[in-house]
Amino acid sequence: MKLARPVGRLVDVQTVAPLAVRNEVLLDRLYRSHAPAALRFALMLTGERELSEDLVQEAFVRVAAKLDSLRQPEAFAAYLTRAVANLAKSHFRHQQVVARHERTVDLTTLVVHPVDVVASETLLVALRQLPMRQRAAIVLRYYNDASHEDIARTLDIPLGTVKSLLSRGLAKLREGVRDA
Amino acid sequence: MRDALEEHLASRLGTLGETVGEELTPPADLELQVARRRHRTRATRRWSGVAAAAVIVIAAATVAVARGSSGHGSIKVESSSTTPATVPLRDLLQPGTAMLSARGNFVVSLDASGHTIATMVTVSASSSVKYARATADHQQIWYLSVKHGSTGCGDVVRAQVDGGRTKIVAPAVTFDVSADGSRLALYGGGDLARAQCAPVRAGTPGRIVVIDLASSTSSSVAMSDVTSLRWSPDGSALVAATCGSFDCGFRRIVIPSDLAAPLVATPGTSVGFARVPPGSSDRIVFGPDGFYELATTVTAATAGAPASTRESIARYDPKTLGSPRVVFSGGDRWDVTQVVPTTAATYVVAAPAASPKASGLYRIEAGRLAFVRTLDSPGTFVPVAPFAPNG
């Protein structure tokens, strides 16, 4: 299953959403439906499995807590994806602040960590050196096959910004691969 | 139309995506976490409607309370939960909590598989939590919060798990609280019993002060180079890890019931360990079946070989701190940085010597390490004892 694509699951979520926060079984079902895709997305953003699991769990709790007040509960997957991207961005920003205060921290460990076998590949290393919004847009485009409009909706940014993020992100990837 | 790089990117991301299964098991307390978050969100919304002046007044009052303004000058706080003794205590930590980890400005609880269950404490982003432990009744978490850049004293803070109220109890360089939450052990320079802490300078001994929180009586002993303190589970003794210029080890201090007499420290039979900074809390720890020491043996460089260090974990009798028995030896294959003995298993934070950045949580099984999970930022792990309503 890839992020936010299977229409059947979105319909499923729409049906259970109003009850989910009051019913453990339904909350459980919501988690099982959406957490794996969110974890894939987080893993591609961070490259770190443990961190990704923590981000997804936190993001899920945040979005599920607001389920009753979401304007479009049927778009739970998109809200979850956006929350993961925002949390990942906050996490790395915090890490950079900490790193500035603790000079012994090796900045390269913030973007590259030997967690999975493919993470050391030049292309994926270059991906994880992109700014978080570019990274998120690229992953949504090339892993989830999301359209520009879907990416704009998911990340809550203007369409023009999506095109700009993708264009600049790809340019940096080409540069990164060429320099390697 | 995609070019070669875009196709390659899509392909590699697809491969990476396949490393995640189709099914993820929700955390056991998912509903509880969501309920807590909803409660917090609602409370935030409610408060956002209050006038700015009222918010300022409340914030000022909150800061005054949190800073424990009346507490400076003397240390006297209630020793346990505010719940009346007639009401049976319930376990306030999430089911399955096996350990706490102080990471950056957070304290998180983890289960026996090393997964985060909940964030228990969040301190200011300008501070770090160096050590945290829960009381045996699981009603309080005590932690040491140190401002970034500070090399001296931090704040020893008591947080009520139910309701999240916190109070700065005392300043100290390092500390530990007894399992029943009735006694506090502080280390530092200055008059710690009157909440005045100064950094311990090289060449001048600091003091370990033990304070009975209900009566405010205290007793102390001078000691140099203390890096961490640990109460025995029954509160009858305190163990201080010390690390001087030449050697490291631990000392045992028998704690009398009335704290009238000065404390006396006796050297332990430590194997010894490498120098660690003050506040480090991961070298000595009481577990469910004994006292554990993560010892480091340093081999001096010779003409043919560079200097090397080897870690081993020894378990001692918890009463006498004698009869050490090595339960794990890292040899030249493992760099071990922490030992976390829990009722579920004895864990270590370790990395293969060949790839020191690949730090992970491992379980000791028959003298060998069994992988549990990778750790990006391990923090400082502390075992959580099983819920004991009577402390």
Token code pair at residue B249: 């080890």
A142 contacts in chain B (CB < 8 Å): 6, 9-10, 13
Task: Indicate the residue of B15, B23, B34 with minimum beta-carbon distance to A36.
Answer: B23
Residue A98: pLDDT band (50, 70, 90) is low
B7 contacts in chain A (CB < 8 Å): none
- Residue percentage of chain A with pLDDT more than 90: 29
Residue in A with minimal Cα distance to B355: A114
User: Nearest C-alpha of chain B: how many angstroms from A158?
Assistant: 23
Interface test with B, best of A23, A24, A39, A40 (most B CBs within 10 A): A40
Task: Tell me what the mean pLDDT of segment B293-315 comes to.
Answer: 78
Q: Please check the confidence at residue A45 and state whether its pLDDT lies above 80.
A: yes
Query: In whole numbers, what is the pLDDT of chain A averaged over residues?
Result: 74
By mean pLDDT, which of B43-47, B74-78, B175-179, B259-263 is the weakest? B74-78
By mean pLDDT, which of A84-88, B69-73, B151-155, B279-283 is the weakest? B69-73
Q: What is the ipTM of this complex?
A: 0.73
- When comparing pLDDT for B343 and A8, which is higher? B343
Q: In this complex, do B5 and A173 lie within 8 Å of one another by their Cβ atoms?
A: yes
Query: In whole numbers, what is the pLDDT of chain B averaged over residues?
Result: 81
pLDDT of residue A92: 80
B122 touches chain A (CB under 8 A): no
pLDDT of residue B86: 57
Q: Please check the confidence at residue B270 and state whether its pLDDT lies above 80.
A: no
Residue B56: pLDDT band (50, 70, 90) is low
Task: Tell me what the mean pLDDT of segment A49-78 comes to.
Answer: 85
- Residue percentage of chain B with pLDDT more than 70: 84
Q: Please check the confidence at residue B276 and state whether its pLDDT lies above 90.
A: no
pLDDT of residue B84: 46
Q: In this complex, do A124 and B12 lie within 8 Å of one another by their Cβ atoms?
A: yes
DSSP state of A167: H
A171 touches chain B (CB under 8 A): no
Residue in B with minimal Cα distance to A48: B376
Q: In this complex, do A32 and B27 lie within 8 Å of one another by their Cβ atoms?
A: no
pLDDT of residue B238: 94
pLDDT of residue B173: 93
Task: Tell me what the mean pLDDT of segment B296-303 comes to.
Answer: 72
Interface test with A, best of B22, B24, B39, B357 (most A CBs within 10 A): B24
Q: Please check the confidence at residue B362 and state whether its pLDDT lies above 90.
A: yes
pLDDT of residue B143: 94
Encode pLDDT of B144-198 as tens digits. Answer: 999 887 778 999 999 988 877 788 888 999 999 999 999 999 999 988 878 888 8
Q: Please check the confidence at residue A16 and state whether its pLDDT lies above 50.
A: no
B375 touches chain A (CB under 8 A): yes
Q: Please check the confidence at residue B219 and state whether its pLDDT lies above 80.
A: yes
pLDDT of residue A165: 93
B43 touches chain A (CB under 8 A): no
Give the SS3 label for residue A172: helix
pLDDT of residue B321: 85
Cα(A168)–Cα(B3) distance, integer angstroms = 16
Residue in A with minimal Cα distance to B13: A143
Per-residue buried b or exposed e for A121-150, using 16+ beta carbons within 10 Å of the residue's own CB: bebbbbbbbbebbbbbbbbbbbbbebebeb
Q: In this complex, do B374 and A119 lie within 8 Å of one another by their Cβ atoms?
A: no
A50 touches chain B (CB under 8 A): yes
- When comparing pLDDT for A135 and B245, which is higher? A135
User: Nearest C-alpha of chain B: how many angstroms from A72?
Assistant: 18
Q: In this complex, do B12 and A57 lie within 8 Å of one another by their Cβ atoms?
A: no
Task: Tell me what the mean pLDDT of segment A59-86 comes to.
Answer: 86
A44 contacts in chain B (CB < 8 Å): 13, 16-17
User: Nearest C-alpha of chain A: how many angstroms from B178?
Assistant: 31
Q: In this complex, do B41 and A65 lie within 8 Å of one another by their Cβ atoms?
A: yes
Cα(B99)–Cα(B134) distance, integer angstroms = 9
Cα dist from B98 to B9, B94, B106, B344, B354, whole Å: 40, 10, 17, 7, 29
Token code pair at residue B336: 């071990």
Q: In this complex, do A36 and B24 lie within 8 Å of one another by their Cβ atoms?
A: yes
Q: Residues 236..255 of B with a Cβ closer than 8 Å to A: which?
A: none
B1 touches chain A (CB under 8 A): no
Judge contact between B313 and B348, C-beta under 8 A.
yes
Q: In this complex, do A116 and B16 lie within 8 Å of one another by their Cβ atoms?
A: yes
pLDDT of residue B162: 82
DSSP state of A109: G
Task: Tell me what the mean pLDDT of segment B296-306 comes to.
Answer: 73
Residue A178: pLDDT band (50, 70, 90) is confident
Task: Tell me what the mean pLDDT of segment B211-235 comes to.
Answer: 90
Q: Please check the confidence at residue B13 and state whether its pLDDT lies above 50.
A: yes
Residue in A with minimal Cα distance to B16: A118
pTM recorded for the entire structure: 0.56
Q: Please check the confidence at residue A1 and state whether its pLDDT lies above 60.
A: no
Q: In this complex, do B19 and A116 lie within 8 Å of one another by their Cβ atoms?
A: yes
Q: Please check the confidence at residue B225 and state whether its pLDDT lies above 60.
A: yes
Q: Residues 104..123 of A with a Cβ closer than 8 Å to B: which?
A: 109, 113-116, 118-119, 121, 123
A21 contacts in chain B (CB < 8 Å): 34-35, 38
H or E segment to which residue A87 belongs: helix A76-101
B43 contacts in chain A (CB < 8 Å): none
Task: Indicate the residue of B27, B149, B375 with minimum beta-carbon distance to A57.
Answer: B27
A115 contacts in chain B (CB < 8 Å): 374
pLDDT of residue A21: 39
Task: Tell me what the mean pLDDT of segment B243-247 comes to.
Answer: 71
Q: In this complex, do A101 and B148 lie within 8 Å of one another by their Cβ atoms?
A: yes
